[in-house]
Amino acid sequence: MAYIITDECISCGACASECPVSCITEGDGKYVIDADACISCGTCASTCPVGAPVSND
Ligand code: SF4
Ligand code: SF4
């Protein structure tokens, strides 16, 4: 169980600085979440201006 970042991501970086376990990093064209570290808190989803992070439950 983790969140993933869809292609809607505009690489603003807002989610990365808000993630409590710092598992979001800048990737190729979008930010990416380390699924093994993500605790599914939902903070990235509520922070993102374009709704790119979604739960993969
Ligand atoms: Fe980080 Fe929480 Fe988003 Fe997982 S759901 S990437 S722990 S902010
Ligand atoms: Fe991408 Fe949203 Fe994170 Fe910004 S807050 S880097 S748009 S996922």
Domain of 31, CATH number, reads: 3.30.70.20
What's the pLDDT at 32? 98
CA of 39 to the centre of ligand 1 (A): 6
Alpha carbon distance, N-terminus to C-terminus of the chain: 6
Where in the sequence is the domain holding 21, given as residue range(s)?
3-55
Atom from ligand 1 closest to the CA of residue 15: 8
- The pLDDT tens digits for 6-41 are 999 999 999 999 999 999 999 999 999 999 999 999
In DSSP terms, 31 is beta-bridged to: 26
Q: Evaluate: CB of 33 within 6 angstroms of ligand 2.
A: no
Task: Report pLDDT for 1.
Answer: 79
Structural domains in the chain (count): 1
57 pLDDT higher than 90: no
Contact of 40 with 3, CB cutoff 8 Å: yes
